[in-house]
Amino acid sequence: MHKTLPLPPLTAIRVFEAVARHGSFTNAASELGMTQAAVSYQIKVLEDRIGAPLFLRRPRQIALTEVGQRLAPVVTQVFEQLSEAYVSARGGAQGTLVISTIATFASNWLARRLGSFQIAHPSLAVRLQTDPHLVDFSREEVDIGIRSGRGDWPGLVAHRLINADFAPMLSPGLAASIGGVKEPADLLRLPLLDPGDPWWARWFAAANVPVEGLASRPGASMGAQVYEGNAATAGQGVAILTPAFFAAELADGRLIQPFDLLCDDSQAYWLVYPESRRNSPKISAFRQWILGELGPSKR
């Protein structure tokens, strides 16, 4: 057990510092935003604790006693140090934004846009941390998380970013090679990328296209969408993809989505952070940025 340091009443010391600096109870009170009576009280408290007067009460002014003169400079300096450390802690706490995200979102969405956030907030360092499990903000040093799920985490604020829905996509050239894709069954005349992905079976079922022979292996599709997207853009086949991850390709025509039919995994990607830090500047900044990014393109 560590020896406890003998410390003066801190409230009183705070008041003493201001009084010593001003040489006046009244002026110190106005700086501290309290009444002169409160200052008088605190000084008395401190004088009682120290066992000696700190000020001489002269008619229209006060003067530090010897004891007060020895105490005042130390106290002033101590508060300066403390203030600096405090301000720096508040500031430093805002200097780095740690994002814990799952790899899929990082590579398919965040990677290409994060630059604009960093340009908008040049004083904020961003640390990306991809991690498959749901971060526990109370035991890991992470500011915000991006996770899939249902958005109902207790104690956390969750903003829905994008739905994890999916539809077939292919390059315009590949579609033209069979004279255009008119109906879902047409897709079966083209190579399917990762045909074992359970999303295929689900989508064709929703489209009322009976399909056999789609190997039913466990899909490693999550996180690999970016590769399949590249392959599809290159015209190598039809991929089943989440449109929000390929908004740019769909917009500029590198990929087309021939059917509006979207299937749903009943999953979504969420931005999450602790309720208690809702108003942290860096978290506000990121929230504002990411929701703005989603607004214009795909909502």
Partner DNA sequence: TCTTATGCATTAAATGGCCTTATGTATGAT
Partner DNA sequence: ATCATACATAAGGCCATTTAATGCATAAGA
Query: Which residue of 2, 3, 57, 133 would you call a contact of DNA, by CB under 7 A?
Result: 57
Query: Which residue of 48, 52, 61, 116 would you call a contact of DNA, by CB under 7 A?
Result: 61
Closest CA to 147 of 184, 183, 102: 102
Which 62-121 residues touch its own copies, going by CB under 8 A? 65-67, 70-71, 74-75, 77-90, 92-94, 96
Kindly tell me which of 11 and 35 has the beta carbon lying closer to its own copies. 11
Which 120-179 residues touch its own copies, going by CB under 8 A? 138-141
Closest CA to 267 of 127, 162, 181, 192: 162
Query: Which residue of 32, 124, 185, 211 would you call a contact of its own copies, by CB under 8 A?
Result: 32
Q: Interacting stretch for DNA, rule CB under 7 A, among 42-50, 117-125, 177-185, 279-287? A: 42-50
Q: Interacting stretch for its own copies, rule CB under 8 A, among 29-37, 178-186, 201-209, 252-260? A: 29-37
Q: Is 41 in the site for DNA (CB under 7 A)?
A: yes
Residue 21 CB, nearest approach to DNA (Å): 12
Q: Are the beta carbons of 277 and 159 closer than 8 angstroms?
A: no
CA–CA gap between residue 247 and residue 255 (Å, rounded): 9
CA–CA gap between residue 187 and residue 209 (Å, rounded): 10
Q: Are the beta carbons of 101 and 110 closer than 8 angstroms?
A: yes
Q: Is 198 in the site for DNA (CB under 7 A)?
A: no
Strands (E), 86-155: 96-101, 125-130, 144-149
> What is the pairing mode between strands 263-274 and 144-149?
antiparallel
Query: Which residue of 172, 173, 180, 281 would you call a contact of its own copies, by CB under 8 A?
Result: 281
